[in-house]
Amino acid sequence: MQQFTFKVYPNGRGRDVYRIIRISGSDTLDQLCSAILTSFDFTHDHLYEFCMDNKPYSEHSYQCEPDGSGKPLTTEKIERLGLKNKQKFLFHYDFGDEWMFTISVQKIEFTVEYAKPQCLKEKGTIGQYPDPEADFEEEYDDEDCDGEEDEEDDL
């Protein structure tokens, strides 16, 4: 059976925020999704798709929503995708917040035994949801309760 090692990073952040994930080819895209979200400490409560041509909402994607047959396309096994070394594809998560993660195939190996998905290396952090309290405090720091600026700031 095949075993894949992927570098996964939020688009534009490949140098400072990434995860190296190893997963069996007999695992599904759903299991890859779970491994990615767990490694970035994201909740798993939104729709997602894997876009093999790096374009969100493309014809060449595997979506978690059931297709006409009632079966989600993300139940496809990773080894059936025909991935090649250095190939890149897109993991598009949470269609409202539009999280885009690049997945780069680092290594494809053959192994006899199944191994659970594993995060081998991590660098940097990102927050799935910004801290709303911090934004609120920043925005209203210089205002009093009625929304007007403090008089001493105007002097």
83: in domain: yes
pLDDT band at 31 (very low <50, low <70, confident <90, very high): very high
The answer to whether residue 147 is domain-embedded is no
pLDDT grade, residue 140 (50/70/90)? very low
Those residues with Cβ within 8 angstroms of residue 96's Cβ, 6 or more apart along the chain or in another chain: 46
Give the global pTM.
0.80
* The total number of structural domains that make up the chain: 1
* pLDDT band at residue 133 under the 50/70/90 scheme: low
The answer to whether position 148 is within a domain reads no
Residue at 154 is within a domain: no
Instruction: Assess if residue 79 is contained within a domain.
Output: yes
pLDDT at 136: 45
What is the distance between the alpha carbons of residues 154 and 33, in angstroms, rounded to a whole number? Answer: 52
CA 31 to chain centre: 12
Please, which pLDDT band fits residue 69 given cuts at 50, 70 and 90?
low
What proportion of the chain, given as a percentage, has pLDDT over 70? 79
152 belongs to a structural domain: no
CATH code for position 71: 3.10.290.30
Q: What is the pLDDT of residue 141?
A: 47
Is-contact 20 106, C-beta < 8 A?
yes
pLDDT digits (tens, 9 = 90+) for 46-59: 899 999 998 988 88
Q: What domain range includes position 50?
A: 2-142
Partner residues linked to 19 by β-bridges: 8, 122
> With b meaning 16 or more CB within 10 Å and e meaning fewer, what string describes 95-124?
eeeebbbbbbbbeeeeeeeeeebebeeeee
Q: What is the mean pLDDT of residues 116-130?
A: 92
Better-predicted residue by pLDDT, 140 or 30: 30
| Run of H or E residues at 134 | helix 132-140
Rounded mean pLDDT of 9-32?
96
Provide the pLDDT confidence category of residue 72 given band limits of 50, 70 and 90. confident
Cα separation, 89 vs 33, in Å, equals: 13
Between the ranges 1-10, 70-79, 89-98, 138-147, where is the mean pLDDT highest?
Answer: 1-10
3-state secondary structure of 94: coil
Give the closest residue to 18 by CA, choosing from 2, 5, 31. Answer: 5
